[in-house]
Amino acid sequence: MNEEISKLIHLQSIDSEIDGFDKEIEDKQQEVAEMEQSISNKENSIGQCQEKTDALDQQNSGIEESLTDAKARIKDSQNKMMKVQTSREHQALLKEIEDNKKLIKNNEDQLIAIMEQVEELKKEAEELENLCKGEKKLLTDAVKKVENAVKKINSRKKTVLKKRNSLAPDLRPATMKRYDILRSKRNGSAVVGAKNGVCQGCFMTIPPQQFNEVRKGDKLNFCPTCQRILYFEEETETSDA
Ligand SMILES: [Zn+2]
């Protein structure tokens, strides 16, 4: 096999390994990001509970004020009652007292309903806070673990990068350029095997004449469909024969 081809195969395997490290790091950082998102969602919900509680507290003050006023009006009516002369005036005062009593009953019912809602919100916020506490602890552990894992991955990556740096200068600049473009366009794979006359990158058939040249390996061959650099891979028995 042409030396350039074997170097390209080696380079591809190194780069795939490096990509694998990067993917590993990305996955681990993604895990942490998801945990952070979950905590932040819960903190938002806690904030919403607090906002609702504040609004209810305000409503509560308004109702309490109305209640105090109604009580004062009853007292007032009761005081007037002693001074009225006619039965008509008496009846009117009685009605006023009755109306205010109804209002008080209504206000008290509202206050109970608000209290129940506030308690429910408080419970909800407490549950969320407990969950948050647990998740934050898990997050701290996860961040440490990921930091350590990333360190290990990076040191493995460094070793592999050294190998790459010693290999890449041996390749012609034009070949390297082509290789780099293919890697960026073809999801990281620039050099692929050709097996049983089929490109293992795009799985399209290679014309027999060209496949023969790939088998000989005297010069660089490119897949006519995906343009990847091809090398000959031993044919395997098809299992469905
Ligand atoms: Zn192809």
User: What is the predicted pLDDT for the residue at 241?
Assistant: 44
User: What is the predicted pLDDT for the residue at 238?
Assistant: 60
Which of 113, 234, 229, 109 minimizes the C-alpha distance to 176? 229
**Residue 94: how many CA atoms within 13 Å on its side-chain side?**
6
Distance between CA atoms of residues 179 and 224, nearest Å: 16
Give 239's pLDDT tier (boundaries 50, 70, 90).
low
**Residue 123 Cα to ligand 1 middle (Å):** 61
Spell out the long-range contacts of 165-174 with Cβ–Cβ below 8 A and sequence spacing 24 or more. Answer: 167/7, 167/10, 167/11, 167/14, 168/11, 170/7, 171/4, 171/7, 171/8, 171/11, 172/4
**Residue 224 Cα to ligand 1 middle (Å):** 7
Give 170's pLDDT tier (boundaries 50, 70, 90).
confident
User: What is the predicted pLDDT for the residue at 235?
Assistant: 83
**Residue 200 Cα to ligand 1 middle (Å):** 7
What mean pLDDT comes out for the span 71-91? 94
**Residue 152 Cα to ligand 1 middle (Å):** 35
What mean pLDDT comes out for the span 67-80? 96
Distance between CA atoms of residues 19 and 106, nearest Å: 69
**181-231, pLDDT tens digit by residue?**
999 999 999 999 999 999 999 999 999 999 999 999 999 999 999 999 999
**Residue 228 Cα to ligand 1 middle (Å):** 6
Distance between CA atoms of residues 203 and 235, nearest Å: 14
Contact 10, 167 (CB under 8 A): yes
Q: Could you tell me what percent of the chain has a pLDDT over 70?
A: 98
Beta strand 191-195 pairing with 198-199: antiparallel
**Residue 115: how many CA atoms within 13 Å on its side-chain side?**
8
Domains detected in the chain = 26-170 (1.10.287.1490), 173-232 (no CATH)
Q: Could you identify the residue written with the tokens 């308004």?
A: 62
Strand (E) or helix (H) holding 131: helix 87-167
